């Protein structure tokens, strides 16, 4: 009989025709993968907006407010032989971690990105202080898993390499030439993701176009430029791969990132990736990633350098050893099992 695993998330989940949907692909694929070993129960916040990815799990509950959420946490805590996994630290999940500790459990907290950077982008100078308060307490009462060592800030924890890649992603990509720069960004349209800063960077640049895939309902009207096309979040893998293949450079404009899976997707399709100074730590030993400053001259210079050596860059990218989703899930299961 499978051991129960309760997963608590701050992500918004919508319901339609008794099916559950989210915008963050990781919230779909990771619980589904873990469900192969555990009896996964996923809990999250209820969204009134229709989300993109159907979560194929039998046991999902969503809540309108923190009080009903905590009430269900209390019910879940009665399963004494179960595991309790919290995804990321937010005000909601911070309270859940404390509640679980009071109820006699030591939760596992999975940190997917640098909360200090995210909260600074969202709240300004007070953001890192607010996150530091939550992180300090949560880290002291939980077992930590992270995708980067620096995210742990010296605290004890296990490391893991998230990935959505499978054999389909790793098939031979479509060949493409660079005439004009056809840029692609896949992700949410949020301030901390740097999308608005990128749009300003290429405003009125006729030889540079950008496609953004990841629009939530009502978000696409925040950017209105003739050289930018905004498309909804794409849940069909084949169609998403075609978007990568139809563009020649991928841009990741985020102010903060832990282990961005879209970067792995771009590398798998052998599309050079442009990032900015703030997240140069994501490069590691991977080939095909280029760092630029947040000004147009530096950005254009980086694009032109890629254009000059495009075929050579793609050849070097073949040497990348990219993690797969199966490897990620297998290690995640082992780490959860190892925590007592």
What confidence tens digit (pLDDT) does each residue in 55-86 have?
999 999 999 999 999 999 999 999 988 999 99
> Looking at residues 184-190, what average pLDDT do you find?
91
Task: Tell me the two tokens of residue 75.
Answer: 């019910």
- On whether both 109 and 41 belong to a single domain, the answer is yes
DSSP 1: -
Number of domains observed in the structure of the chain = 2
Assess whether 158 and 13 both reside in one domain.
yes
Q: Which domain holds residue 300?
A: 181-317
Residue 171 lies in a domain: no
- Find where tokens 């841009």 sit: 251
% residues pLDDT > 90 (the chain)? 77
User: How many C-beta neighbours within 10 Å does residue 204 have?
Assistant: 8
pLDDT (0 to 100) of residue 215: 78
Within a domain: 291: yes
Q: Same domain for 33 and 148?
A: yes
Supply 172's token pair. 């031979």
Residue 90 sits in the same domain as residue 124: yes
123/96 Cα distance (integer angstroms): 22
Name the pLDDT band for 169 (thresholds 50, 70, 90): very high
pLDDT of residue 217: 58
- What does pTM read for this prediction? 0.84
Let me know whether 148 and 247 are in one domain. no
Average pLDDT, rounded, for the chain: 93
* Bridge partners of residue 5, in order along the sequence: 40, 83
With respect to residue 175, please indicate whether it lies within any of the assigned structural domains: no
Pairing of strands 60-63, 39-46: parallel
Q: What confidence category does residue 221 fall into, taking pLDDT thresholds of 50, 70 and 90?
A: low
Residues 22 and 125 in one domain: yes
Chain centroid to CA 125: how far? 24
Question: What pLDDT is recorded for position 273?
Answer: 98
Nearest to 249 by CA among 226, 265, 272, 229: 272
- Are 185 and 250 in contact, with CB atoms under 8 Å apart? yes
**Token pair recorded at residue 294:** 């947040």
Residues 140 and 185 reside in one and the same domain: no
CATH of the domain at 196: 3.40.50.2000
pLDDT of residue 219: 52
Cα separation values, 2 from 21, 36, 82, 334, Å: 25, 9, 10, 14
- What is the pLDDT, as a whole number, of residue 177? 83
The pLDDT value recorded for residue 288 is: 97
Q: Between vectors from CA 265 to CA 319 and to CA 335, what angle results, nearest 5°?
A: 90
Report CA torsion sign: 43, 49, 53, 56: positive
25-43 per-position pLDDT tens digit = 899 999 999 999 999 999 9
């Amino acid at each position: 009989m499978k051991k129960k695993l309760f997963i608590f998330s701050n992500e918004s989940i919508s319901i339609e025709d008794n099916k559950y949907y989210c915008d963050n692909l990781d919230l779909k694929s990771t619980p589904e993968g873990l469900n192969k070993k555990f009896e996964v129960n996923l809990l999250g916040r209820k969204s009134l907006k229709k989300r993109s990815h159907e979560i194929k799990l039998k046991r999902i509950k969503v809540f309108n407010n923190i009080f009903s959420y905590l009430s269900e946490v209390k019910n879940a805590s009665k399963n004494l032989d179960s595991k309790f996994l919290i995804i990321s630290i937010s005000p909601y999940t911070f309270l859940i971690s404390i509640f679980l500790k009071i109820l006699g459990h030591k939760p596992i907290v999975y940190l997917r990105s640098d909360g200090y950077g995210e909260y600074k982008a969202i709240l300004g100078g007070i953001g890192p202080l607010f996150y530091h308060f939550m992180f300090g307490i949560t880290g002291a009462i939980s077992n930590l898993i992270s995708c980067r060592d620096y995210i742990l800030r010296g605290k004890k924890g296990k490391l893991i390499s998230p990935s959505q890649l499978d054999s389909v992603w790793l098939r031979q990509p479509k060949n493409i030439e660079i005439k004009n720069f056809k840029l692609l960004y896949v992700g949410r349209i949020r301030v901390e993701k740097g999308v608005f800063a990128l749009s300003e960077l290429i405003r009125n640049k006729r030889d540079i176009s950008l496609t953004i895939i990841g629009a939530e309902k009502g978000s696409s009207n925040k950017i209105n430029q003739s050289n930018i096309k905004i498309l909804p979040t794409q849940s069909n893998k084949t169609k998403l791969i075609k978007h990568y293949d139809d563009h020649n450079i991928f841009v990741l404009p985020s102010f903060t990132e832990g282990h961005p899976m879209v970067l792995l997707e771009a590398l798998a399709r052998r599309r050079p990736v442009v990032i900015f100074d703030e997240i140069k730590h994501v490069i590691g030993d991977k080939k095909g990633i280029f760092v630029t400053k947040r000004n147009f001259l530096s950005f254009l210079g980086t694009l032109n350098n890629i254009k000059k050596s495009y075929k050579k860059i793609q050849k070097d990218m073949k040497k990348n050893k990219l993690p797969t989703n199966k490897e990620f899930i297998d290690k995640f299961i082992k780490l959860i099992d190892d925590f007592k």
